């Protein structure tokens, strides 16, 4: 199977940051990383490392945990768990930092609200 049909890894090798792709033709930066541009179909893309910090763009929570879309400083939006579960603080615009969560089932995208 050609390389471009394989899923690409989400995290950098050290697990600390997220990877994305930037299309060499249309320039759109996208997540998850991809071998074919989702917007123009071009197959030459650069691997990029995404910013670690951003602001909550949308969120929700139940009694167990909170989640949200986070707009990273480089303009790409990524979905993840948001901690701590604090409905009083959680709001659109709250600054957060990527802090990947290691679980038995693998690494999960988690953002922690800045102090």
Q: What are the residues binding other proteins (CB under 8 A)?
A: 10, 28-32, 38-39, 57-63, 65, 67-69, 74-81, 87, 92, 103, 105-106, 108-110
Which residues sit opposite 77 in a β-bridge? 71
How far apart CA 8 and CA 14 sit, in angstroms, is: 15
How far apart CA 72 and CA 15 sit, in angstroms, is: 17
Q: How far is the CB of 51 from other proteins (least distance, A)?
A: 11
Would you call 46 helix, strand, or coil by DSSP?
strand
Q: How far is the CB of 9 from other proteins (least distance, A)?
A: 11
Q: How far is the CB of 114 from other proteins (least distance, A)?
A: 19
Do the beta carbons of residue 20 and residue 29 sit within 8 Å? yes
The nearer residue to other proteins, 17 or 61, going by C-beta atoms, is: 61
């Amino acid at each position: 199977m050609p390389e471009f049909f394989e899923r690409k890894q989400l995290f950098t090798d050290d697990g600390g940051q997220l990877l994305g792709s930037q299309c060499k033709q249309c320039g759109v930066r996208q997540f998850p990383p991809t071998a074919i541009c989702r917007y123009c179909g071009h197959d030459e893309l650069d691997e990029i490392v995404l910013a670690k910090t951003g602001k909550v763009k949308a969120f929700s929570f139940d009694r167990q945990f909170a989640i949200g879309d986070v707009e990273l400083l480089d303009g790409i939006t990524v979905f993840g768990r948001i901690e701590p579960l604090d409905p009083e603080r959680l709001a659109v615009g709250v600054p957060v930092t990527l802090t990947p969560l290691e679980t038995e089932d693998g690494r999960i995208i988690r953002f922690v609200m800045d102090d």
